[in-house]
Every structure is written in C-alpha cells, then in structure tokens.
Structure 1
Amino acid sequence: MRETPEELTELQALLDASLARSTSHLRSIISTDRSLTAEQLATVLSGMCILALSTVTAASEPRISAVDGHFLHGRWYFGTARTAAKARHLAARPSASVAHLRGEDLGVFTHGTVEVVNPDGGAPDAEWPELLAYFKDLYGDDAFDWDNDVVFYRLRPHWMTVYAPDSAKLTTG
C-alpha cells in the first residue's frame, strides 16, 4: 500500500460520495456492508490488476479493452502503446471508465478523466520518476523503450464504488 493518510481520507470521501449519489438500484446491490473501506481497498489492490478500460471513438462508439492497472496513491494508473487506438481516443476524449473484477468477490468501478504522466516530447508529470521506478521494477528495465513506446495515464476519478460481498474473504489471509 503506497497511499498516505491524506490520500486514504480523500479516497474514502470519494467512495462515500459516489455511493451516496448512486441510484437506488445500485445502492440495493452495493452498500457499506458489501464494500471495502479506502484502506482495505488500497491493500486488496496491490500489484498489477487487469482493468477493463472503456473509451469512446470520434463517432461516439464505445470501445472496451484490457490494460494492466496499478492502484497507487488512491488512483488507477495504466499504460498502452502510443500507437494504440485507445491512446488516440484518450488524447481526443480523456473521459474514461475502468472496471476491475475478481469473479463474484470484487468489483471496482471507476469513472474519471485521464492525465498523461509521460507525454511524448513534453515534460513528465511530477510523479513520473516514482512511477517509472515502480514500472521498471515490475516489468524490467528493458521491457519497453519507456520514453517512446508506451504512454502511461493516471485516471483521476470523479466516481468510484466497490462491490465486495465478503470483505473478510479479501482482507484476511
């Protein structure tokens, strides 16, 4: 878990506000007793997590693909090839949704806006050195041409909810 106490407080506020403004149907499925706290979520989402990423084409057609997701500092980070269709979609329309699912045990659903952390030819985000070290440790120093081949995004969430019907199953172990 890499989250600071302040980041956990911010994440908990987001989780609480998102659930509070959700539909009654969603709240009939996801409730505080079928969810995780921010601290539990940050612990459960360690390492690489496969995300279903939704983007939108120029013709407003939805597209979904899978990416390696990393939950760090209370936000999702993911990468793709700079030449991928999803990179073009996100450059033009930075709104995105992601879902991380583990069977019937866990569902994390997030809507937000992406921010590039290692722009092509631009100044990298302040977090990039820490993220690059994390990614190189995970994937290997020579897995990619880190400056030219891949683009990494931070999904700044404006809505996030967690379905976990048995939190003890996920948090004990």
Structure 2
Amino acid sequence: MFETPDELDRLQSLLDASHTRSTEHLRGIINDDRTLSATQLVGLLTGMKVITAATVTARGEPRISAMDGHFLHGTWTFSTSRTSAKARHLSSRPAVSVAHVDGEALAVFSHGHVVELAGEELAAVDEHWTSHYGSSPLSWGDVVMWRLEPTWMVGYAFQRERLLAERGVTA
C-alpha cells in the first residue's frame, strides 16, 4: 500500500460521492454489503492488475484495450507505446474509463482523464514499475506513462468479507 492518510481520505471521498451519484440500478448491485472502502480497495489492488481502458477515436468511436495497471497513491498508473492507438487517443482526448474486473469476486470501475507522467512523479512511478518488472518500462521503447485523474470510481466485491479474508486484507 503506497497511499498516505490524505490520499486514502481523498479516495474514500471519491468513492462515497461516486456511489451516491450512481444510478439506482448500479446501487442495487453495488449495495452497502458489496461496496469496498478506500482501505479495502488499496489492499486488494497491490501489485500489477490487468485493466481495460476505454478511449475514443477522433470520429467518436469507442476503443477498449487491456494493459498492465498499478494502483498507486489512490489511482491507476499505466503505460503504453507512444505509437499505439490508445496513446494517440489519450494525447488528443484525455477522457478515459478504466476497469479492473476479477471474475465475479472484485471489480473497480472509474472514469476521468489521464495526465502524462513527467519529472519526479514519472521517476517515482518508474521506480515502482522497475522493481516489479526487473527493468524500466522506459527502456522498452518509446513508452509513455499515465496517471488517471478519476472523477468517478466505485469498488465492488460480490462477497466482500470472504474476499477480504481470502486475500488477507484487513480494514
């Protein structure tokens, strides 16, 4: 877990506000017994997670792709080749939806926009990723690293208490 107390507070506020603004249909599925707190969410999202990111073409056509995501400081970080379609989409239209779904057990859905990492923030994220992969993603070619600035996020666990116990997350 890399989150500071302030980052956890901000994430919890975002989760609460997002759940409140959700439709009745979604709140019926992600009810109080299935909602994850910020502390629970960051405990479950340690390490690399496969995420899907939805972008939009210049013609407004949706595109989705999977990639590695790392949940750091209360939000997703991810990378791709600067020559990829999603990098072109995000550079021109930074709005994005990101999801991590682990079968029926766990899901995290978020919307927002991306910020390209640079400077000290890029160095810190690259250090984390390098530790995970054994080499820097920046050495893999013309790679761009992004951080999601979420405006909406919900976390769901079908059997929350069981999932937390199975994965050793206490909160």
Cα distance, 1:106–1:145 mapped onto 2, change above 3 Å:
same
* CA positional deviation for 1:144: 4.9
Structure 1 residue ranges, 4+ long, deviating more than 3 angstroms after superposition:
none
Aligned-residue CA RMSD in angstroms? 1.3
- Partner-residue secondary structure (3-state), 1:2: coil
Partner amino acid, structure 2, of 1:141: S
CA distance in 1, matches of 2:80, 2:20: 33
Deviation at 1:142, TM superposition (A): 5.7
1:44 aligns with 2:37: no
User: Corresponding residue for 1:171?
Assistant: 164
Distance across 1 between alignment mates of 2:94 and 2:58: 12
CA deviation vs aligned residue, 1:95-122 (integer Å, no higher than 9, x gap): 00011001000110000010000xxxxx
- Displacement after TM superposition at 1:128 (Å): 1.5
Please give the per-residue CA displacement for 1:36-77, whole angstroms capped at 9, x wherever unaligned: 110010000000000011000000000000010100000000
TM value normalised by structure 2: 0.93
**Matched length:** 166
Per-residue CA deviations over 1:116-135 (Å, capped at 9, x if unaligned) read 00xxxxxx243122111111
Change (3 A) 1:60 1:143: closer
Matches of 2:53 and 2:75, distance apart in 1: 14
C-alpha separation between the residues in 1 aligned to 2:153 and 2:123? 27
> Does the 8 Å CA contact 2:127/2:136 hold for their aligned counterparts?
no
TM-score by length of 1: 0.92
3-state SS, counterpart of residue 33 of structure 1? coil
For residues 1-173 of structure 1, the aligned pairs below 5 Å read 1-117=1-117, 124-141=118-135, 144-145=138-139, 149-172=142-165, 173=168
1:91 corresponds to which letter in structure 2?
A: S
Describe the SS at the equivalent of 2:130.
helix
Change (3 A) 1:72 1:99: same
